[in-house]
Structure 1
């Protein structure tokens, strides 16, 4: 629930990258993603080092922000499944890196001896479950036509990372392909490339006490080097989260007083006013009640994955005419 693996990746990889850039530049050659040395001299250790530590601080910054945003998957599925996905995506993307380099050389005649280093393949692979399993909730509109959603900033960070190097598109493409293969269970890859339970327990005993921490109860400091826009966005997100938590606490108190159900007439006043004619003495007439809206079980499951109860998910989807985005907005804001 506290995402220790995501925090350890973010802190450890970023710290090593900064140290190599500022203090130990003469050791950077050992972390270069040198394909020629890997293929000709079979230096597998270069494959491991080159595909783990970023040597470009811009790539380090973008990938760290993406890992921070993708920590939702560790909280949803657990550290073992999340680490299994990262391991499978890392190994598959390493294979696809070599294949794409050979295909590029065969088709275009371009010889590629090195690629950008870093933990980039698994980061791009995480865009696959992010696109397919995280609901898109509209936040605002720009110029009245362009929608800004809760996922826009993550896609912008991915685009920034994609355009930071000349051959980084190979890493992005191999990461997306590996993410599709692992996420869709092609050839049962998720059963073969997985972290054993004893390894997960070992790292749980060692990493969780060090990197796990409770959610902050008051305002936290923004990241070093953040721009004014990012600082403002972080403060707005923190304020929204605090408002949401207070509303959830208030909603729970009201539910305990009212028997455990959300007051949907308060959440959807248009529906209440629409049927005022059917109410007499605060009781709906039997003839004026419309038939209940059929609710998609898939959308109910998605809302339940976000932590809402089945009863609240059913009521929200029925009241919103089976619109997942509207139901999610109201469940989060009330």
Structure 2
């Protein structure tokens, strides 16, 4: 099953790994060993505005002083590591940098609006930590990750592959009195940076020389090796779950071998890939549809109609329209299977 967070741990996600280890270690160090130094990491906008302590916009927005916020944000960063694998470390870091910078401006605007409208001066002391970019990542998470139903409660409430992530976000959203200001500014900054009309991606980005330097100096420290197939199965699972996961792994390997064989034939003979040959079990999931499809193919009827909404979702994930159309047709409009297969290649 294609999940919202992918698999393989922190493989090909060195930036996510560094954001998990370094701020968490510093947060624990300040909370347990150096509590008298926490005053230097307070996110006090009143001090920024009145005393011109601009350095607080940096120090106050890196390390969480509340361990609950540290735990929730770390779990969310771990789940959002799929964007680093999909877009690359440089583009992922550019999104975090852009949302981090923009959210500081939106924090000031929201705090000034609250003080002017309601006279709440205490809102200038906002929760510290790398929280706004974490909330900003919910924007591509909502727009790019397909929603796949996993279970249903009482026949009315459906549980999807994204439900747990939203619950974690809600927990972080309600962890403090004024954290909703940081959350709103983070989500708005993520929407603004993602928007192509504002062209913020051309102004706030990681330069190529900085990305090359970090890849040379820091990536070896935080890189993770690719896990083996045994590690992906999971040692703590029951025998039935292990057997099912092994069958899914073998089926995936068989599918990949079929794709490689057809791809070699395409390179030797030329022409388009026959996607229908790559998914023989998918056409047999629904016998009625399979029989109708066989009769329609024999009669020369047009190909299976594909939902434009599903095509748009796959194109937002970076796939071409042609690959999205062929994958959805070959998988009988199964967005989960089509996405899983395209991500493998």
TM-score interval for Structure 1 and Structure 2 normalised by the shorter chain: 0.7 to 0.9
Q: Which runs of 5+ in 1 are unaligned?
A: 223-230
The aligned counterpart of 1:228 is: none
In 2 relative to 1, CA 248–309 (structure 1 residues): closer, same or farther, beyond 3 Å? farther
Q: Alignment length, in residue pairs?
A: 319
Which residues in structure 2 correspond to 1:111-190 (within 5 Å)?
Answer: 111=121, 112-190=123-201
The more displaced of 145-154 and 268-277 is: 268-277
- Alignment of 1:253 with 2:257, yes or no, is yes
- Pairing partner for 1:98 from 108, 125, 132: 108
Deviation at 1:139, TM superposition (A): 1.3
CA RMSD of aligned residues (A): 3.5
- Pairing partner for 2:281 from 233, 249, 266: 266
In 2 relative to 1, CA 129–266 (structure 1 residues): closer, same or farther, beyond 3 Å? same
In 2 relative to 1, CA 245–308 (structure 1 residues): closer, same or farther, beyond 3 Å? farther
- Pairing partner for 2:75 from 62, 65, 79: 65
Give the whole-Å Cα distance in 1 for the aligned partners of 2:196 and 2:242: 36
The aligned counterpart of 2:13 is: 3
Give the whole-Å Cα distance in 2 for the aligned partners of 1:177 and 1:5: 23
Normalized against structure 2, the TM-score is what?
A: 0.80
Q: Say which structure, 1 or 2, has more relative contact order (CA 8 Å, 6+ apart).
A: 2
The aligned counterpart of 1:87 is: 97
Deviation at 1:241, TM superposition (A): 7.0
Deviation at 1:166, TM superposition (A): 0.2
- Alignment of 1:193 with 2:204, yes or no, is yes
- Alignment of 1:53 with 2:57, yes or no, is no
Is the CA contact 1:137–1:328 (under 8 Å) kept in the aligned structure 2? no
The aligned counterpart of 1:291 is: 302
1:260-290 Cα deviation digits (max 9, x unpaired): 75453421325554464896xxxx6876343
Normalized against structure 1, the TM-score is what?
A: 0.83
Give the whole-Å Cα distance in 1 for the aligned partners of 2:343 and 2:244: 10
Deviation at 1:106, TM superposition (A): 1.1
- Alignment of 1:34 with 2:44, yes or no, is yes
Which residues in structure 2 correspond to 1:283-322 (within 5 Å)?
Answer: 288-295=299-306, 299-300=310-311, 302-303=313-314, 313-318=324-329, 322=333
In 2 relative to 1, CA 7–278 (structure 1 residues): closer, same or farther, beyond 3 Å? closer
In 2 relative to 1, CA 131–307 (structure 1 residues): closer, same or farther, beyond 3 Å? closer
Is the CA contact 1:76–1:305 (under 8 Å) kept in the aligned structure 2? no
Secondary structure at the counterpart of residue 124 of structure 1: helix
Q: Which runs of 5+ in 2 are unaligned?
A: 1-10, 266-272
